[in-house]
Amino acid sequence: MKAIITITGQIGGNHTLSGAIASSYLHEERTSGMFYSIIYHFNTMKDAKDAIRKAYKHLRNLGYDTTGITGIRRNSDNTELSYDASKAIVSRAN
């Protein structure tokens, strides 16, 4: 089942999350949405969740803060990654 990661929020945070996802996993396609949103397409839901997990590790290794309301956060099932006012969410592709 195909999946997408949609990144929404402020421009700076979107580019930070986008860079981490792009560098941590080979995605099928990248498109731009409305209001500076970025959409990554993946072949499977597992690939998209792996991308979130690897992006979180990548940002943590770069020294981004993992505490506080502006730090990087992810949920336990790897379907959401947040940084500052931006959020990357995994969902099924239509």
DSSP H helical ranges for the chain: 11-24, 45-61
Tokens describing residue 37: 């949103």
CATH topology of domain 3-92: Alpha-Beta Plaits (3.30.70)
Return the pLDDT at 17. Answer: 94
Contacts for 61 with CB less than 8 Å, ≥ 6 apart: none
Confidence (pTM):
0.89
pLDDT at 69 over 80: no
Domain ranges across the chain: 3-92
Q: Is pLDDT of 70 > 80?
A: no
Each residue of 47-62: pLDDT tens digit? 999 999 999 999 999 8
